Amino acid sequence: MPHPTSTPLRAARPHALPAARRRAVQRRLLKWYDAHAQPFPWRSARDPYAALVAAVCAQQTQMSRVLEVYGRWMETFPTLADLARAERASVLQTWGRAGYPRRAVALHETARRCAEQHGGALPREPEALLALPGVGPFTAAIVRTFGFDEDSPAVDTNIVRVVGRVVFGDLQPARDTPRSEIEAATTSLFPTGEGARWNPALMDYGARVCTPRPRCEECVVASMCAARPRFAAGEVAEPVRAQAAFEGSERQARGRVMQVLRDAAGDTSGAPVTLAALAKRAGATTAEERARVRMLLRRLADEGLAWTDGRRAGLGQRPV
């Protein structure tokens, strides 16, 4: 009997569309992109650092917020060298309330690593990029595509949805299509020499047309899409999963502690706050809540987001 949580085995499906259909999909999506491209600054900058910042900002974040933090970040740290020289507290202040501040620490560590090991520049090779803190396959592909004009297929949520539907006919590919099949199909579909247009074309198409509830009636590849007949027959893409509640979560509590530390840092980055004041400003009133704040502070310190000497705490790394 199979383990209840095991994934049922199924034969791998062909991941490549017939050549004529593949070329038609490429042509139509690129044409659509030329008419509807989102003019994000990192797409035209041809700057690996700008591409890196954008890709890291985009992880688990809505585009309106990405634009906000990206703009603030590039204004404060316009180059990789500026970021490498910055204090950790200033990096975290600039990241602000964008969420998941470990991403800011990873960007900072990457800038320092590049200064030490790569002559102050981001490397071009995938292996070297993937060895940098916080850089996974998606971020590496975005840096290579927008920064170096290299062909490098990216796979994000929107691309998974478009490719999984067009090639395999799955309605909710994030849940139904094995990752290995998506990656193989994305690579097969990739038009040589068009990386800087193709990756954003798929991303934008997934964000605006092939959305969770797709707009098939206005789709330029509907006649070639394996999922179209299923949607036309009235089948529905069930949501992957509801997002965990933020209210009362550890993420919310961490966010409060970070906010107190950012407020305390204020204009004089890194100013410490006593643990008693930290707990009070974070809303802890009972001994149990104060203990939780101390526990969260230790975790933040382990992640390089805060420091504490047992009596006081501050943002980033302890001043020397």
Catalog residues that contact ligand SF4 under the rule CB under 6 A: 162, 165-166, 209-210, 214-216, 219, 221-222, 225, 227-228, 231
Distance CA 216, CA 70 (A): 32
Q: Which is nearer to ligand SF4, 40 or 231 (CB)?
A: 231
Q: Which is nearer to ligand SF4, 47 or 156 (CB)?
A: 156
Q: Looking at the chain, list the stretches that DSSP marks H as alpha helix, in order from N- to C-terminal side.
A: 19-36, 41-44, 48-58, 63-76, 80-85, 88-95, 102-117, 126-130, 137-142, 148, 157-168, 173-176, 179-189, 195-208, 228-232, 250-265, 275-281, 287-302
Q: In 3D, which of 308, 311, 318, 254 has the Cα closest to residue 282?
A: 254
- State in angstroms the smallest separation of the CB of 159 from ligand SF4: 12
Q: Which is nearer to ligand SF4, 214 or 255 (CB)?
A: 214
Q: What is the number of residues in the chain?
A: 320
- State in angstroms the smallest separation of the CB of 201 from ligand SF4: 12
- State in angstroms the smallest separation of the CB of 72 from ligand SF4: 34
Distance CA 94, CA 92 (A): 5
Q: Which is nearer to ligand SF4, 215 or 298 (CB)?
A: 215
List CB contacts of 20: < 8 A, sequence separation 6 or more. none
Place of tokens 């509640």: 245
Paired sense of beta strands 306-308 and 273-274, if any: unpaired
Distance CA 36, CA 138 (A): 23
Q: Which is nearer to ligand SF4, 143 or 219 (CB)?
A: 219
- State in angstroms the smallest separation of the CB of 227 from ligand SF4: 4
- State in angstroms the smallest separation of the CB of 24 from ligand SF4: 13
- State in angstroms the smallest separation of the CB of 166 from ligand SF4: 5
> What DSSP element (H or E) covers 315?
strand 312-315
Q: Which is nearer to ligand SF4, 29 or 143 (CB)?
A: 29
